[in-house]
Amino acid sequence: GLPWPVDPEQVLITTGSQQGLDLVAKVLIDAGSRILVETPTYLGALQAFAPMEPQVVGVRSDEDGVVLEDLEAKAAGARFLYLLPNFQNPTGRTMSEKRRAALSSLAGRLGLPIVEDNPYGELWFERAPPAPLTARSPQGSIYLGSFSKVLAPGLRLGFLVAPPALYPKLLQAKQAADLHSPSFNQRMASRVMQGDFLARHVPRIRALYRSQCHAMLAALEREMRGLGVEWNSPAGGMFLWVRLPAGLDAAELLPLAVERGVAFVPGAPFYADEQAGRDASRTLRLSFVTASVAQIDAGVAALAAAVRVLKGNP
């Protein structure tokens, strides 16, 4: 369940949470609308918003989340702020409780709606993340959730929770898109949730992902020592964020890595256009959840070899 009272009439089942982003874009964005996002942000959200031709503005962000001074400076006229507070894609960072409380207060004062995307919130390693922003301000937020990360990605089931005033427009957009998400898939998910499968399954996923993340962090420490590469240590989710030394470009590193049997996602596409400069080009996203520990060890060693080649020190 969700940690705040929700009327079922406010819940819309979507064909994956990605469709939720598409519906939000269709209902809330016009050409030229000002949209605020984290720096960096989820590429799939930028792609969902792009057909509506908004002005996407990146808000400076640190390890605790969006920087409130920069948010306040850029908030005038914005339709909404889009956030992934938990184990963010691409960085893996989690917004602190202190930052959430301050952000909720600031957004209320500014009259700034929040679109809160939470596909990874159940994938914590040691402790659950703080309460959602939506729990603090349900009337000023749209909340997106997903069954993909804890059940089955191929099921393509998600949901959104919207304020009563906005729900009819989102429902209309959903019906226009595909009438409804497959009933068979919904019944399957419902049956699974009525039993104790998730209570047994999700802790197993958490333990597996935690061990894989720790293996990748250990491999990075072992293989990247002395190369000037930096990375973070996520408290959950599926990703960690890597920063190359100044002067190196992740897009140039990628073919060298692929030659050695390892791939990653360059960081620049996760930034709003105006910020995709040299700093963005140094970043890349690694995922640890689909590889064994042996594959992680070999992959990070291969990536380090590619970095040495790019640095001119093979």
Q: Burial, 69: exposed, middle or buried (Cβ in 10 Å; 0-12, 13-18, 19+)?
A: exposed
pLDDT at position 122 is 95
The backbone torsions φ and ψ at residue 210, rounded to the nearest 5 degrees and listed phi first, read: -60, -45
Rounded Cα–Cα distance for residues 263 and 6 (Å): 41
pLDDT in tens, 267-283: 999 998 666 666 899 99
Mapping DSSP to helix (H, G, I), strand (E, B) and coil, where does residue 229 land?
Answer: coil
How many Cα atoms within 13 Å fall on the side-chain side of residue 99?
A: 18
pLDDT at position 275 is 60
Q: Is the Cα dihedral 78, 80, 83, 85 positive or negative? A: positive
β-bridge partners, 62: 65
Which residues have CB under 8 Å from 116's CB, separation 6+? Answer: 83, 84, 85, 132, 133, 134, 141, 142, 143, 144
Rounded Cα–Cα distance for residues 250 and 73 (Å): 31
Question: Please, what are the domains in the chain?
Answer: 8-194 (3.40.640.10), 201-310 (3.90.1150.10)
Say if pTM beats, i.e. exceeds, 0.85. Answer: yes
pLDDT in tens, 62-87: 999 999 999 999 999 999 999 999 99
Residues of the chain with pLDDT under 50: none
Rounded Cα–Cα distance for residues 62 and 38 (Å): 9
pLDDT at position 314 is 64
Nearest Cα neighbor of 83 from 73, 69, 94 is: 94
Quickly list H helices, the chain: 17-28, 43-49, 68-74, 97-110, 133-136, 167-178, 183-194, 197-223, 250-259, 278-281, 293-310
Which residues have CB under 8 Å from 256's CB, separation 6+? Answer: 306, 309, 310
The backbone torsions φ and ψ at residue 64, rounded to the nearest 5 degrees and listed phi first, read: -95, -5
Backbone region of residue 247 per phi and psi (left: phi > 0; alpha: psi in -120 to 50; beta: other values) = left
Which element (helix H / strand E) includes 55?
A: strand 55-59
The tokens describing 312, both together, are 């001119």
User: Helices 293-310 and 250-259, interaxial angle, to 10°?
Assistant: 120
Rounded Cα–Cα distance for residues 127 and 10 (Å): 29
pLDDT at position 226 is 94
pLDDT at position 161 is 98
Instruction: Return the DSSP state at 169.
Output: H
The tokens describing 56, both together, are 């996407």
